[in-house]
A and B are shown apart, each in its own frame.
Chain A
Amino acid sequence: MSHSRDVLHFSGHESLRHRLVLSILSGKPLKIDKIRPDDKNPGLRDFEISLLRLLEKVTNGTVFEISLTGTAILVRPGVIFGGAITHDCPLSRSVGYFLEPLIMIAPFSKKPFNLTLKGITTDDKDLSASCLQLPLVHTVLLTPLCTQADLIRTVTLPHLELFGISDGLELRIKKRGSMPQGGGEVQFLCPVVKQLKILNFVDPGKIKRIRGIAHAVRVSPQFSNRMIEAARSVLNRYIPDIYLYSDVYKGEDSGKSPGYALTLLAESTTSVLHSAEAISEAGVAPEDIALRASRALLTEIRRGGCVDRKHQCLVLLYMVLGSEDVGRVLMSEPTERTIQFLRDIKDVFGTSFKITPVEDSTDLLYVCYGMGFINVNRSLA
């Protein structure tokens, strides 16, 4: 019954994930063309196809039509269904690539999400699965076994709690898998909500503690200790409350390739989270990796704001979807992705942000009026 003028029309392969998410949330058909038309290898890549397949699994009635050349797709979104799903991710991208868009739609599904993704848990492009969860800072203390895919677990998931999604929200890292062979496995559990709370987060506070996870698989366990020592050399000058955990996976759980990484997380008095991560590289000493991570963390901290740059899109999307009230958040300047995302949001939902600079700071205040998005998929029966 949809008329042709209701179709969202975009071009280019960039922000593919965000556009898919917006289309599925709004229920509007989406057409994307000119996907790498001039490339030697035109059209969608394997991981993008895999993402489409995954979206097909988590929804009911979604139709993807891919053109013959693969340079254009038409999406007719269905109902977000959720439930227990397993997906094998290709080795070209880590599970973070797949998890990020799914986190955006997971709270609006019919059944609570129970998603198992297999593949690479840490790479240098996407949020490593461990980045995404804060109460984990505490659980990490107790069970050092569960760490990497760490950014998603330790940072992204706490952001969801700001919007009232908390009970049953979890990311379990069952196995770690480094590049290039992967072999990791994460399980993502997300509850269903009726409506998101609106966010009002303008006080950045001051950094009160720093936590970190140094993980190593299929290498000497000494590597993680070396990373911790190096990171402490930079960070110790600021604050005494620093705990960096060494997390070594062994045997089955350690995946197929050797690798190590350091994930750092700074939490402020108002629970603002800044995070940084660096992963192993051939020919670089673990100390250098640690320095790189800690310096990146400092850069993040200096940028300020209440939400770090990696999570701008997620937070802004949830603010738009929140109840019909004014939502405010203090963040640093928008990234390239964020700018495109804001424009896409305006095209899809017709909502725009008021972005004003804050006195005496480089931060910007993002204000929007929530659109009162209600989870229609949630069933009462």
Chain B
Amino acid sequence: MDDKPHKAHRAAQSGNKADKKGKGKEKQHGFNEKAFAPKSGRRAERQGRRAAEKDQTRLHVPLVDRTPDEQPPPVIVAIVGPPGVGKSTLIKSLVRRYTKQSLNEIRGPVTVVSGKKRRLTFIECNNDLNSMIDVGKVADLVLLMIDGSFGFEMETFEFLNVLQAHGFPKVIGVLTHLDLIKKAATLKDTKKALKKRFWTEIYQGAKLFYFSGVLNGRYPDTEIMNLSRFIGVMKFRPLVFRNQHPYLLADRLEDLTPREEIRSSKGKCDRTVTVYGYLRGTNLRMGTKVHIPGVGDLDMKDVQVLGDPCPPPDADSEKRRKLSEKKKLLVHAPMSDVGGVVYDKDAVWVNVPGNFTRGNTDVPQGEGEKMVMDLQDVDETLEDVVARSDIKLLGSSSKNLVVDPSSSRLPAADIDDEEAESDDGDDDSEASYVSDIEDKTDEEDDLDQGKHIFGVHGGDTGRSTLRLGHRTTDKLSTMLEHQNGGIEYADSDSDLEDGDIRIGPRDDVMGDDDLAADDAPHWKTDLGGKAARAFDSSGRKRRKDWTKLIYSSALPPAQLLKKLTEDQPEGDPDEDEDEFFRMAKGQADEERMDMSKDPALMEDSKEWQDDDMLDSIRHLFITGEAEPQDGERIEQGEDGSSREGSEEGESEAGDADADQSAGIRLTADARAQALASKKEALKRKFDEQYDDPDAAKQDFYDEKKEEIAKQQTLNRAEFVGVDADTRALVEGHSPGSYVRIELTSVPCEMVEHFDPRRPLIVGGLLPAEQQFGFVQVRIKRHRWYTRTLKTNDPLIFSLGWRRFQTVPIYSLDDHSIRMRMLKYTPEHMHCYATFYGPIALPNTGFCAFNSVGADTAAFRVSATGVVLDIDRSVKIVKKLKLTGAPYKIFKNTAFVKDMFNSALEVAKFEGANIKTVSGIRGQIKKALPKPDGAFRATFEDKVLMSDLIFLRAWYSIQPRRFYNPVTSLLLTNDTRWSGMRLTGQVRREQGLSAPQSINSTYKAVDRPARRFNPLRVPRKLQSALPYASKPKLMKPQNRLTYMQKRAVVLEPEEKKALAVIQQIRAIRKDQVSKRREKQEERKEVRRKKQEKDEGRLAEKRKEERKEHMRLAGIKSKREVEKEEGGSRKRQKT
């Protein structure tokens, strides 16, 4: 057509339209508050209600987040999906995005720093159901990968159901392989369909990423960047189960078992293993048991906090907004090959690309290379070597140098003192003293003071009380046993103090120090100075360290207290002597009662007769004045408080003036404090009077949240200045720290078949979870699981950390009276299941499987549910019907036989309710002597001889005590774990058929017709009855009636008419039959024609089909040729 451009539109400059437009534009400015204003009062009310409702949906039960704010553990990002979907590619892309390093192979968790406050641990989850279950229990964020060109796979749905049972972590979907879909429309439809399905599985609006294709073995950078931004800002809600348990995803495993032991046992001995990883969940304390899913319950021998291998940027180094490039390079993946370093299970391999490779024996090796190789081969630590060596520190030493591993690891740990005693009981003190080379600085002080007055005792009779110093002036210290080393220091002052307080050297003591002068190693040189400095810095008065007294002393409490209360500043040796030769006197004659009242209370009541004494506690009452300083003085002086006394006992002359000055400072401080508190009180009073009381009012939710926040700040504040060891002792190891856990008696298969691709989780167990019992759960068979679940068939549960097989019994609550056993789980309904196994907290979710192997294409999650109850016994019953037959009937009484076998059995059931089939109720009365097991019973009506009488009873059943953990980590990757099989499975494998009881076979039921006697009502009674109740005639009449008896003769006209009608009928009949014949003929012709046509048509169709198949055959043949002969083709060209 013509290419002339259209005339441009000119907006109206005047008139109606121009006016409208101008106004419209004006209206568009800013927020229009009228737009959402309600039009009516009712509407306003409805809107208000809706707003309030929406506000309520925001609320959740306030949960405490146990993850620390500073240094939280890395977020676990699990990448899950079917094989070949691009999981490794995604991890590589993400690691590359965060660290600019490319990994060749992903093995085990990879930890990277992703931001200033966040670290991520990526873990790839393989398609094995066991791995999926374990990953689902620890992952904080799941990247669910879906092959866009294929769609969802069964494993994906299974994984989602597992997640649901164990607390749903965040899930982000990732669609890959979208480049394989060529057509844009198909692509759009696929995306839409998959998104819809994904949303129904997760929630409406769940985030789904689309990855277009792979470039250079990675996903496109922009797409990865978008994903990483999403991960970076993601918030996590604490999950209840993980908030109750400490756990760790091991990123490294090492075998510490001595090589010799392994060799001698041919690798079958139990191993000692260390696992490494970031602690998550709650605090991990020593003494808790751990469970490794797939292995079993293990004991922790030791937990050590290590330096963070992938530390988050600290505030000082990271002042700027973005992460610096240097920090971006951090990646911790010990089992992958980052930077050519691989941590194997028992060694660290350095991969030097070049001509040298380990194990290559053909190449001649130089001396240096050999040395390095030898170093790699070292399979024991220096510690072990030293332990075996015969080195003596001094020539005169009678004992070799020993290393006490426990002391080196955990200086404050509670060490078995028996061991310690035996250690030093037999040898000379000096040698044993010197041997303890590993001990820490406290001992160094002691050494300098030279007070090694070690127990000069026989060793076996007493404990520490015998091991008392003789020369000491410090009474208090003598009772303390030093726990750290192999020896007790009879009097080391530092035992009594906080770790940082040291005591200055004393001259007299220095004098008799025989070691200090000549053989002192260099670290001892300036000890005095160091100690003095430490003392100066501490400055304040020394106090008793109750924590240490209670936890690290082996003194029985009575003696401990006695020592503390008795104050003798001069620490007279007689007392010690007494202690030394303590009579083995009689706990026998004067028994110490276990009583809560303090008998001492009665004793010291004499002092209260004094008026001054009575006045001295006046300040403790509200009527008393505001705590006078001298009042306290009096109190302390008078009651001779143990603190004062013991301090005096310890303190030397030098301390005295320090004490005084401290006292003065103290009073000044106290005054200032009192003033401050007074001011505070006044301010509070003022605020109360003048502040709006409603302003501070909060709703329940905010109140709870504030409460939680307050407690958390308190938790943090309490341990601010405390050293790490005490912290570990009191609160355990906090989440976020990188720890090394030493596990003992680990099955050797775990180490032998260790595969970093399977997640290794160390989950802490609560004390209750280490017990076994009957667990009652609410269970529902999964809708997608096709088979029904049967009572007493084994089922694999994933509950808590554990995966185990057990034998449940299903039941339903029967009218809240009894738990009635079910043979099968009901359809689309919850029921109860009871099984024997490890106890889990009520309200813990679980999922169950019939098999965890990959041998079925069907959906494997067979049931899900939640734990309800824990007990040591269960009461589940099933119905038992006993039948009997009456053999003699009186009025309402009958003798019944065949129900029981003996009179004893009858006696057990006396008074039980029985019933006939027809519904007559009765009761068992008493056993009869004659036929065994017969009894007399009464009924509410007369029973018939033909009645069946039954007794409904309940028979209680117990679940089998069967527990079989799924030890998947003890198997190699490709062997299948096999637990208890179903009966049917066993039969099938053994070629047996199910046994059939002869009583269970169906037989033709023979029911002879019953003849009932006629009901006979006496004539007299009949006449008295009303008509309605009178018995009606029952038998048919057999006599002829009046009408039947009469013969009928027709009139002649009647006869004629009848004949005519008959003739007409005959003619009509003939006509109809003729017509029908004709029609039949016509139909026959038509049928023939139709048959002919159909034959032709079939012929035609056959031809067509033939042609089609021929073409298809050619096509498929070509395709096969194409696949096979691709290379051939290439060869041709």
Contacts and interface: CB of A to CB of B under 8 A. Distances in A.
A354 B722 contact: yes
Given A61-B872, A340-B557, A376 B768 contact: yes
Interface string A95-127: 011001000000000100000000000001111
15 contacts: A1-B771, A6-B770, A14-B592, A25-B767, A39-B588, A239-B623, A276-B601, A326-B715, A328-B718, A354-B547, A357-B543, A357-B643, A362-B643, A372-B244, A376-B839
A370 B546 CA distance: 19
Given A79-B773, A96-B596, A351-B285, A339 B550 contact: yes
Given A27-B768, A302-B639, A342 B622 contact: no
B597 A350 contact: no
B730 A27 contact: no
A143 to B, nearest CB: 26
Nearest to A359: B666
A376 B769 CA distance: 9
Given A299-B601, A300-B601, A304-B620, A355 B547 contact: yes
A38 interface: yes
Interface in B614-631: 614, 616-618, 620-624
Interface in B274-330: 282-283, 285-288, 299
Interface stretch (A181-189, A212-220, A243-251, A288-296): A288-296
A326 B714 contact: yes
A354 B730 CA distance: 7
Contact size range, A: 35 or more
Nearest to A303: B639
Interface in B316-373: none
A36 B730 CA distance: 34
B604 A299 contact: yes
Contacts of A368: 730
B68 to A, nearest CB: 12
Interface stretch (A164-172, A200-208, A224-232): A200-208
Contact of A206 (B282, B547, B622, B838): B622
Contacts of A346: 414, 551
Given A27-B770, A238-B623, 7 more contacts: A295-B608, A298-B617, A310-B596, A364-B546, A369-B732, A376-B768, A381-B868
A378 interface: yes
Interface residues of B, number: 92
Interface string B868-900: 111111000000000000000000000000000
B593 interface: yes
* Residue from A17, A200, A362, A364 having most chain B Cβ neighbours under 10 A: A362
Contacts of A302: 616-617, 620, 635, 639
A10 interface: no
Nearest to B592: A14
B711 interface: yes
Nearest to A328: B718
Given A16-B594, A237-B614, A380 B551 contact: no
A380 B843 contact: yes
B595 A126 contact: yes
Nearest to B643: A362
A342 B597 contact: no
A38 B596 contact: no
Interface in A66-82: 78-79
Given A326-B718, A357-B643, A362-B643, A367 B605 contact: no
A379 interface: yes
A269 interface: yes
A28 interface: yes
B1058 interface: no
Interface of B: 64, 66, 244, 282-283, 285-288, 299, 414, 543-544, 546-547, 550-551, 556-558, 560-561, 564, 587-588, 591-598, 601-602, 604-605, 608, 614, 616-618, 620-624, 632, 635-636, 639, 641-643, 666, 670, 711-712, 714-715, 718-719, 722, 726, 729-732, 766-768, 770-773, 776, 778, 832, 838-839, 841-843, 866-873, 963
A273 interface: no
A298 B868 contact: no
A198 interface: yes
A223 interface: no
A2 B839 CA distance: 13
Contacts of A291: 605
A17 B593 CA distance: 12
A318 B872 CA distance: 25
B842 A125 contact: no
A336 B561 contact: yes
A276 B869 CA distance: 42
Interface string A330-372: 0001111111101100100111111111011010100111011
A206 B244 contact: no
Nearest to A237: B614
B730 A369 contact: yes
Contacts of B641: 362
B605 A27 contact: no
A369 B731 contact: yes
Interface string A237-269: 111100000000000000000000000000001
B661 to A, nearest CB: 16
A325 B711 contact: yes
A269 B623 CA distance: 12
A127 to B, nearest CB: 5
Given A343-B550, A379-B869, A38 B588 contact: yes
A309 B601 CA distance: 10
A339 B544 CA distance: 14
A352 B551 contact: yes
A277 interface: yes
A374 interface: yes
Give the top 10 A-B pairs by smallest Cβ distance, nearest first: A61-B872, A350-B287, A369-B731, A339-B557, A125-B595, A295-B605, A355-B546, A379-B869, A376-B768, A381-B868
A31 to B, nearest CB: 17
B776 A381 contact: yes
Contacts of A39: 588, 591
Nearest to B606: A295
A374 B841 contact: yes
A324 interface: yes
B560 A339 contact: yes
Given A79-B872, A339-B561, A379 B842 contact: yes
Nearest to B734: A369
A79 B719 CA distance: 35
Nearest to B666: A360
Contacts of A2: 770-771
Nearest to B593: A125
A325 B963 CA distance: 35
Contacts of B282: 324, 372
A26 interface: yes
A355 B550 contact: yes
B550 A298 contact: no
Contacts of B715: 325-326, 369
A301 interface: yes
A336 B557 contact: yes
Nearest to A100: B596
A25 B768 CA distance: 9
A379 B773 CA distance: 14
Contact of B771 (A27, A292, A355): A27
B868 A380 contact: yes
A377 interface: yes
B618 A238 contact: yes
Contacts of A86: none
B550 A334 contact: yes
A110 to B, nearest CB: 8
B806 to A, nearest CB: 13
A294 to B, nearest CB: 8
Contacts of A125: 593, 595-597
Contacts of A349: 287, 767
Contacts of A367: 718, 730
A377 B873 CA distance: 13
Contacts of A378: 842
